[in-house]
Amino acid sequence: MNNYNFIEAIGDIDDRFIAEAEPHYSLTAGKRTCGKAFLTTKNIIRLALAACIVGAVIGFTLWVIRINRGYNFVSFSDNAGKSSENYYRLDENTDPEATKRYQKSLSMINNFYDKLPYKGNFKEAVALDRYYPDSYGNGESSESGSPAFYSVGGFSANDFPGYYAGHYFDAEGKLVIIIKADYYTDNYIISDWYRELQEMLESDKFTCTFAKYNYSELLNGMSDILFGNLSVELKNAGVELWSVGISTGENYIGVYVSAEFEKRVKKILKSDLYLVNVGEKMEFTW
């Protein structure tokens, strides 16, 4: 018995288990791109939607920090599109109305980013001191001796309102803004920050939920693990990280390591800001 026999045996399991588990999306969109019949209006719309998804996925990917095996260097980029950090999945089953809502939500979050860096009344976020990366870290300000800090869409921890903890698009394409729990109340629609948020988003077509850490804290957490004290501790402990990235929806920084380093990393990353997972090395081919 070897690996393939098992894989083949699983290939013949009962149809109902296969049907039940079928993912509700396809990794490759559409049908074969050849033949005149392909260029129908319906397919052009599908292609446009697929392009949106690919754009969003690429943006999301760029947002994830990639750390090479051996922890020799850290490479990452800004979030390529300010609207792409939480992407909404479109597929053949997507309700057209939901797609319209999603497009509206995208434009709202773009409005928000257009008004950054934030200069309003809720500017409580204080970024950590700028980090001076050594040979183990080279962020966007990566020249030797120049400061480095983690940023998204060109904005760093100081540039976001203190109440903002991220956003996502729900299954119906609606925008949900995550609010730091300290600010959140059930009747938030009468709060000052909500009014301000409406102005930034240029719409009231959004809802709010809450989470423990605001976005500035998440960004600071990223800076710390990449360029700050934690990066030094991790380096000294001789651990290798697969990848690090902010999970906005779940309000933590996901740190993926191989099983051999799990305990050591958990010992260093004690805060619940970080969630250490035994994961796979992420290989992006886009």
Partner 1 sequence: MLEDSEIIELYWERSENAIKETQNKYFGYAYSIIARIIANKEDAEECFDDSMLKLWNSIPPTRPQNLRLYLGKIVRNTAIDRLKNLTGKKRTAEIISLSEMENFEDDFQNIDKDIDKWTLVEIINSFLQEQKKLHRIVFVQKYWYFLSVNQISEANNISSSKALSILHRMRKKLKERLVREGYYFDE
Footprint on this chain of partner 1 (rule: CB under 8 A): 1-15, 17-32, 37, 250, 254, 256, 275, 277-280, 282, 285
Q: Token pair for residue 61? A: 């990917």
Which token pair is 24?
A: 């509700």
Q: How far apart are CA 175 and CA 182, in angstroms?
A: 21
* Surface-to-core class of residue 222, CB atoms within 10 Å of its CB (0-12 exposed, 13-18 middle, 19+ buried): buried
Smallest distance from partner 1 to CB 239, Å:
18
Pick the closer one to partner 1 by CB: 145 or 286.
286
Angle (CA) 125-126-130 rounded to 5° is 140
Between 26 and 121, CB nearer to partner 1: 26
Provide, rounded to whole angstroms, the least separation between the CB of residue 141 and partner 1. 29
Q: Which of 41, 49, 35, 37 is nearest to 92 (CA)?
A: 49
Kindly tell me which of 116 and 275 has the beta carbon lying closer to partner 1: 275
Q: Which is nearer to partner 1, 195 or 212 (CB)?
A: 212
Smallest separation, CB 49 to partner 1 (Å): 13
Whether 86 and 169 have beta carbons less than 8 Å apart is answered as yes
CA distance 208 to 129: 31
CB of 276 vs partner 1, minimal distance in Å? 8
Least distance in Å: CB of 9 to partner 1?
4
156 CB contacts (<8 Å, ≥6 apart)? Answer: 127, 149, 150, 219, 223
DSSP letter assigned to residue 8: H
Between 219 and 276, whose beta carbon lies closer to partner 1?
276
Judged by beta carbon, residue 10 or residue 54, the one nearer partner 1 is: 10
Six-digit token string for 104: 């509206």
Nearer to partner 1, 55 or 254 (CB): 254
> What is the nearest approach in angstroms of partner 1 to the Cβ of residue 111?
27
Reported residue count of the chain is 286
Question: Cα(123)–Cα(121) distance, rounded to whole angstroms?
Answer: 6
Could you tell me the smallest distance in angstroms from the CB atom of residue 138 to partner 1?
A: 26
